[in-house]
Amino acid sequence: MLNYDFDWAIITSGKYFDWLISGTITTIQISAVSIFLAFLLGLIIAVMRMSHVSVFRWFALGYLEFTRNTPLLVQIFFWYFGSYKVLPRVVNDWLAQTHFEFTAAVIALTIYTSAFIAEDIRSGIRSIPKEQMEAARSAGFSFLRAMRYIILPQAIRNTIPPLINQFLNLMKNSSLAMTIGVAELTYQARQIESYTFKGYESFTAATLIYLAMSLILTAVVNLYNHYVLKPVKGH
């Protein structure tokens, strides 16, 4: 290691630099789509978990227990190799005409992360005094309207810190998509190492890029929390 010939120029220009940029773009794409879908799905599951309708509650509970207690890598392989068994034929035909590997990874990341997001949101809902829901129902609000206009805005604000952690975990977990051939950042770093035998340089670059993306994502969510979700003083 002391005699290792470091050559940073190999990843700062030329085709290997382009590979890193391409992998970074793919990582951002798969993370952005999965974060958006996981948040929406997690929100739905959290509301179902709090519902007074037992069918919804038990479905949400089963979904959470199954998803959180199976490894993400297994779920990625399941959707990649077995989606044709569980999805309608029209959906499988559409997937076959798109970037199937990318879509399979998005489905797995969305489902896996949504379970953890749902539990965070449920904790946020439970932190809201139950009298608020009772007052909303007394004022004529339905359960869903009370959730939408009164409970959820406060609950989501309270869950910003754990949500940031889940978003960051999803972005880092997206590296597992390389196992099914998605050319994201880790995949490209591995490719550079295979072609150049410069593993230290390629994975150091990938590490720094992941770090930069994590810091940017944290800053964006915190700014959103501060300027959009933060209650106005005096109200």
Q: Which of 11-15, 117-121, 182-186, 208-212 has the lowest mean pLDDT?
A: 11-15
Looking at domain 29-184, its CATH class is mainly alpha
CA atoms within 13 A on the CB side of 180: 24
pLDDT over 70 at 231, yes or no: no
**What does the pLDDT average to over 40-64?**
94
Q: Which pTM value belongs to this model? A: 0.89
Instruction: Specify the pLDDT at position 232.
Output: 43
pLDDT over 50 at 70, yes or no: yes
pLDDT band at 65 (very low <50, low <70, confident <90, very high): very high
**What does the pLDDT average to over 96-114?**
92
The owner of tokens 């720094």 is 208
pLDDT over 50 at 182, yes or no: yes
Separation of first and last alpha carbons in the chain = 61
Q: Which of 18-22, 61-65, 92-96, 131-135 has the lowest mean pLDDT?
A: 92-96
* Mean pLDDT taken over the chain: 89
Instruction: Specify the pLDDT at position 234.
Output: 41
User: How far is the C-alpha of 151 from the C-alpha of 136, rounded, in Å?
Assistant: 9
User: How far is the C-alpha of 11 from the C-alpha of 195, rounded, in Å?
Assistant: 12
